[in-house]
Structure 1
C-alpha cells in the first residue's frame, strides 16, 4: 500500500479523500495504538466490519486539498477485488480498479494512468482479508462514542503518507476516508446513501480497457 500524490486528485483519486479536518483528525491521539485491550477490540471490530462487506454502492462527495468538492457514484466489489469511482459531470475523472491494477482516466487531458493496486490505498480496501498489522501500521485511533477514525501508514515507509478510515459508531459503519500525502496535502471522500445489498455489478462496469495516451 503506497500513497501517491496523484490520488490526491480523487483514499481512492487519492480514492480518494481530504477535507476540512485538521491533518489528520486522529493526530489528536498519537498513541501506541493497540497497547490496550480496548484498542485491540476496536481494531478487531473494524477488521470484521470491512471483511463482512462484499458489495457496496454509494454516492460520494470528495473534497480536494484546495477545498473544491466533486460528487459521483462508487461501486466496491470486495469479493472480486474491483472498484469504480464514476465522477459526475462536469468532472472528467474516472477511476477503475480491477485485475490487480488501478486505472485513472482524465478525459479532459486525454490521459490515462495505470499503476499496481498494491501501490495505492485501494489495495488495502480490496484485500480479501483485512489485517491492520504487518505491512500496515495503525498510528492513530480516535473514538468519541459517535465516530471512530483509524489512521494507517505503510510500515516500511510511513513518510509516504497516511490513510484515515472514517466510521460511524453504534453500529459500526464505514463512512469514508482521508488520504494525506507526503506533502501533507489531504483529500477527503465521504460515502453517502450506502447500500450493501443487491446483485453483483456487471463485469463491464469494472473494465480497465480505457484508451492509453
Structure 2
C-alpha cells in the first residue's frame, strides 16, 4: 500500500481541500489532536456493499506504518511517523523538539510531551480512535452516520454516542485500491483534527515495545505534578 503525498514541508492544502474532503487524527475531545468535516446526509438503513467491502479490506490490514501530516482545528500543521497494529494499537511520533508522542496499547491512550514532562492517559474505549483500530470495522447498526461514494473517494463517518458522546470519526478511502487516505476526528465542540497518511507500508513488523505504555512513569509524572 503506497499513498504518495508530498512531504509535510511541501504540503500546502487549500481551504476547499480541508473543508470539502473532511480530514483528521484521534479523539479530538479527549486527545485534542485530529479535521474539519462537513456533516454528510444521514446514511441510509442499508450500508452500500462497496462501503462494507472497503471497510473489510481495511480491517484485514493487521499492521501498517508510514508518515502523516496533521491539521489542527486552527489550521496548525504538524507531521511525523505512525505505526499501527490491529486491534487497538497505534503510535504517532511527531517531529519537533517537544518529542511529542501519542500511543495506544490496545487498552489506553497516552499523550506524552517530554519537553513539558506531561503524560495524559485515557481509556481507548472512550475515544473515536477505537473505531479506527477495531479488529473489524462493522458498518451495521447505528454507528454509521453517513456514507458518501464518489469517483475518487469513499467517505465513511462513524460515531457511538453511548461510548464517547458527540465525538465522531470520518474515514476516507480510495474506492479502487481500498486504501485509507485520511481520517478526521471531530470532538464534542465540533472542532476537527485531520490526519493524512502517505508512504504507507503494510504487513510490517514492530519491536515488542513499540506500543508499550509506561504506566508507572505516568503515575509518577502526574503525582509529582499534582504536588507542585
Rg (Cα) greater in structure? 2
| Residue matched to 2:115 | 108
1:106-162 per-residue CA deviation (whole Å, 9 max, x = no partner) reads 12321111111111122122222221234x611122221101111111143785221
Q: Please say if residues 128 and 159 of structure 2, whose CA atoms lie closer than 8 Å, have aligned partners that are also in contact.
A: no
Q: Please say if residues 28 and 192 of structure 2, whose CA atoms lie closer than 8 Å, have aligned partners that are also in contact.
A: no
Give the CA RMSD over aligned residues.
Answer: 2.2
Q: What TM-score do you get using the length of structure 1 for normalisation?
A: 0.81
Q: Please say if residues 97 and 115 of structure 2, whose CA atoms lie closer than 8 Å, have aligned partners that are also in contact.
A: no
- 4+ long deviations beyond 4 Å: none
Secondary structure of residue in 2 paired with 1:89 = coil
1:64-84 per-residue CA deviation (whole Å, 9 max, x = no partner) reads 1111100010000115x3211
| Residue matched to 1:7 | 31
C-alpha distance in structure 2 between counterparts of 1:101 and 1:157, whole Å: 14
Pair 1:132 & 2:142 matched? no
Pair 1:70 & 2:82 matched? no
C-alpha distance in structure 2 between counterparts of 1:192 and 1:143, whole Å: 22
C-alpha distance in structure 2 between counterparts of 1:102 and 1:54, whole Å: 19
Q: Identify, as 1 or 2, the structure richer in strand.
A: 1
| Residue matched to 1:30 | 41
C-alpha distance in structure 2 between counterparts of 1:165 and 1:204, whole Å: 28
CA distance change for structure 1 residues 178 and 197 in 2, over 3 Å: closer, same or farther?
same
Q: What TM-score do you get using the length of structure 2 for normalisation?
A: 0.76
Q: Which runs of 5+ in 1 are unaligned?
A: 11-16
Q: Please say if residues 98 and 116 of structure 2, whose CA atoms lie closer than 8 Å, have aligned partners that are also in contact.
A: no
Aligned counterparts, 1:95-174, within 5 A: 95-134=102-141, 137-156=143-162, 160-174=166-180
C-alpha distance in structure 2 between counterparts of 1:168 and 1:99, whole Å: 27
C-alpha distance in structure 2 between counterparts of 1:99 and 1:161, whole Å: 19
Number of residue pairs aligned between Structure 1 and Structure 2: 193
C-alpha distance in structure 1 between counterparts of 2:146 and 2:97, whole Å: 36
